[in-house]
Amino acid sequence: MTATYSLSEEQVRFYQENGYLQLLNVLTADELMQARQALDEVLEQQLDARHDRSEDAEYRKIFVQKVNLWQVSAGMRRYVFNTRLAEIARQLTRANTIRLWHDHALIKMPGDSKASSWHQDIPYWPMQEDGALSCWMALDDVYVENGCMAFIPKSHKLGRLEPINLKAPQDLFKLVPDEQARTLNLDFTPRFQPMPAGSCTFHDGRTFHYAGPNQSSKPRRAIITIYMPDEIHYNGNPHIVTDDLQLTPGATLIGERFPILAPKPMVATA
């Protein structure tokens, strides 16, 4: 997998302004086939609770979730360590370097009758700073009927809101202060993101997003890779990725669990 992708300054500005960006046909046909095969293989494995988040019956009504598959599958590691995707994340955030927070696979099964709630990601991540973002890669063609992503433009400018209960009916929009919404001139009309397999969206951890139920006859498979700029610090909150690391609040999220995937570019000298 090469490290180059033609990302324009206009696209970077769109991401900075709106909190999300769609990119079409980012994976080659061979890369898409490899990612699908790797995911299918790991789904057949017996995973422990650190990697399999499907024990909760309510979550299973929304999606099947597998976490940090790069640690248990060489094929998934090859996908997650794709330097092309990590470099896109670095450019979108204008960061010096980009580290991995974690990957997870989200599969909405056929006939899935429950939508994902509108939410932000950052309230659930134990990070002191903002800036982390997700690459949501479609392994199948996605559209409204099978649960494509939808975003609220500029909602990342609201900052962090209180985390909502993702398993219970709860209205994220009621947490938005009216005055702040008017000041930002927010339009709460969802922007749905249908796209062919091998395409992706990137979104800021503060951006409001949602995926509807899968009403098709086939699974809707997606791999999400979450990136963070370097120098992100642990805030002390529990999380499956950090619970076994015995971190103290204020510790920098570095080391083998959080490898650098996009290093600072070398500056050419005369």
What's the confidence (pLDDT) of residue 114? 77
For residues 155 and 19, the answer to whether their CB atoms sit within 8 Å is yes
Structure tokens at 114: 């429950």
* pLDDT tens per residue, range 171-225: 899 999 999 999 999 999 999 999 999 999 999 999 999 999 999 999 999 999 9
Tell me the whole-structure pTM to 2 decimals: 0.93
Measured distance CA(230)–CA(99) in Å, rounded: 6
- Choose between 165 and 215: higher pLDDT: 215
Ranges of beta strands (E only) in the chain are: 20-23, 64-67, 98-108, 133-138, 149-151, 191-192, 200-204, 209-211, 220-229, 260-262
3-class secondary-structure state, position 187: coil
Query: Any alpha helices (H) in the chain, and if so which ranges?
Result: 9-18, 29-43, 57-60, 74-80, 83-93, 178-184
Indicate if the pLDDT at residue 5 is higher than 70.
yes
Average pLDDT of span 13-33: 97
Identify the weakest region by mean pLDDT among 44-53, 63-72, 180-189, 232-241. 44-53
- Residue-range domains of the chain with CATH: 9-240 (2.60.120.620)
Residues sharing a CB contact under 8 Å with residue 176, sequence separation 6 or more, in sequence order: 158, 161, 186
Structure tokens at 204: 């800021």
What's the confidence (pLDDT) of residue 57? 52
What's the confidence (pLDDT) of residue 63? 62
* pLDDT tens per residue, range 60-98: 556 678 889 999 999 999 999 999 999 999 999 999 999
